[in-house]
Amino acid sequence: MYDSLREAASALSDEALQLILLPTEQCNFRCVYCFESFQVGKMPTRISNGVKNLLESRFDKLSYLAIAWFGGEPLMALDVIESISTHIRSLLASHPAVRYKASITTNGYLLTPEVFRTLLDWGIFTYQISFDGLQKLHDQKRVLANGKPTFKRLWNNVKSMRTFTDRFAVTVRLHVDCDNAIFASDFLKQFAQDFGDDNRFDLKVDLPSAGDGDQTDGLME
């Protein structure tokens, strides 16, 4: 989670605050390997207000704030992200010395160009999106709650991010297992073709021995 002893030490300081926020534990996907029960819904207003109160109480002493949006699928509760993000931006306006980093781990299905533009405007510049291979393999494992495929829309959403001139970073994660390992090179070639000339996009390969399916790695970089 921490890249250096310096970052680990900063987490113990009153000058740094790092939060992982789940605006909802609901998800529009039903990946075949998922262990979640999706019993918890959207973050209630009293909790989001509590987050805002915490931020207000800490901001005067902060030099660094990191917010990581996780889930469930966080984009299913875009209003919660908006409420807290706009509150943070108002605090930053009166505390310009505070360094701020916001990231989001999303399945990408709802990450349309319009939503992406909105997230950028809210200061969310770091993204993590996962695949299980190209279309045939991906759609065998990462399906919508109604059983329909997800790859085509997801890949097009990620490709559309290239049309934006803003500075942002996207980590595309390829989950490799015994079913798709021999086809991993096909994904690597397609990624290089579509994103290889844009250094805002990075590819990470998750091997089974490294904890296949764990998307929490790198949330607080």
DSSP character string of 123-173 = TEEEEEEEESSSHHHHHHHS-BTTS---HHHHHHHHHHGGG--S--EEEEE
Taking phi over 0 as left and psi of -120 to 50 as alpha, with beta for the rest, 136 belongs to alpha
For residue 180, the tally of other CB atoms under 10 A from its CB is 21
- pLDDT on residue 209: 61
What confidence score (pLDDT) does residue 208 get? Answer: 78
d(CA 26, CA 103): 19
Residue type, 96: P
* Secondary structure (3-state) at 187: helix
Q: How many CB atoms lie within 10 A of CB 27?
A: 19
- Domain ranges (residues) in the chain: 5-209
Is residue 114 classed as helix, strand or coil in its secondary structure?
helix
* 3-class secondary-structure state, position 14: coil
With a CB cutoff of 8 Å and minimum separation 6, the contacts of 134 are: 151, 183, 186, 187, 190
Query: For 161-219, how does the pLDDT look when each residue is reduced to its tens digit (9 = 90+)?
Result: 999 999 999 999 999 999 899 999 999 999 999 999 999 999 999 987 644 444 445 45
For residue 87, give the nearest of 54, 126, 43 by alpha carbon: 54
pLDDT > 50? residue 41:
yes
pLDDT the model gives residue 3: 58
The CA–CA distances, whole Å, from 169 to 16, 50, 128, 187 equal 22, 29, 9, 20
pLDDT band at 11 (very low <50, low <70, confident <90, very high): low
Quote the percentage of the chain above a pLDDT of 90: 82
Q: 17-31, 33-47, 109-123, 166-180: lowest mean pLDDT where? A: 33-47
The helix/strand/coil state of 218 is coil
What share of the chain in percent tops pLDDT 70? 89
Instruction: Give the pLDDT score at 215.
Output: 46
Checking if the pLDDT of 118 tops 90, the result is: yes
> Which of 4-18, 20-34, 187-201 is the least confident region?
4-18
Contact 62, 19 (CB under 8 A): no
> Confidence band (pLDDT; 50, 70, 90) for 159?
very high
**pLDDT, averaged across the chain:** 91
The architecture that CATH gives domain 5-209 is Alpha-Beta Barrel (3.20)
Cα distances from 70 to residues 59, 78, 94, 106, 115, in angstroms, run 22, 12, 27, 7, 16
pLDDT at 12 over 80: no
The phi, psi pair for 123, rounded to 5°, reads 90, 15
Q: Greater confidence, 11 or 37?
A: 37
Task: Inform me whether the pLDDT recorded for 7 exceeds 90.
Answer: no
> What confidence score (pLDDT) does residue 220 get?
53
- Write down the pLDDT at residue 36: 84
Q: Please name the residue that has the structure tokens 């931006």.
A: 89
